[in-house]
Amino acid sequence: MVSGMRGKLKSLAVLTVVAAACSSGGTSATTPTSVPATTTSTTAPPTSSTTTTEATTTTVDRLAEIEAIFQDLEERRLRALYDGDREAFRALFANDEYMERSMALFDLVEFAAPPQLGRVEVRSILHEGDDCLAAKVVTAYEGILTDGGTDSKLVVLERVELKWGISFVGEGWACDGPHPLSS
């Protein structure tokens, strides 16, 4: 009799697990192909944390978005320098003061090959606002510039109308105070 009762309890436990899996949160469950020999728990396994996944995905997507902004500006900057296109170069900047300082270096950049920039990597975001981005950016120039190598720098971008422009490169400013070039 005890043996028969144990068999009924096992069958009831398996049925309870299957029923619980089928009724949890409206998600469909599949019947397992094999039933475990012994069942010690009737609780369903914990559900995965969708919030964490969504937050991580959002963070990764935003980082990729920010890297794409920096990548686009750097590729356009190198192309303008390589082509000697002063107007295209000027169009990359968010403010006149930094643009004028950068124009002084326009004719000094020497290329070893046409610009085919690899990936620009944002190492850390120092500030992220609607109108200003500041980040530590690593860019590889090997084989592109004659004095090429890997360059790590702080880059500040500001939004001008609907597009991003280079505002400052160097240490000492990250969207959180008066612009270092303002009077």
> What percent of the chain has a predicted confidence (pLDDT) above 90?
44
Structure tokens at 16: 């309870």
Among candidate residues 169, 166, 128, 165, the one with its CA nearest the CA of residue 152: 169
Q: Which helix (H) or strand (E) holds 12?
A: helix 2-23
Question: Is it the case that residue 98 has pLDDT exceeding 60?
Answer: yes
What is the pTM assigned to this prediction? 0.65
Domains of the chain, start order: 50-169 (3.10.450)
120-148 pLDDT tens trace: 899 999 999 999 999 999 998 888 888 87
What is the C-alpha separation between 133 and 22, in angstroms, rounded? 48
Alpha helices in 24-107 (DSSP H): 50-83, 86-90, 96-103
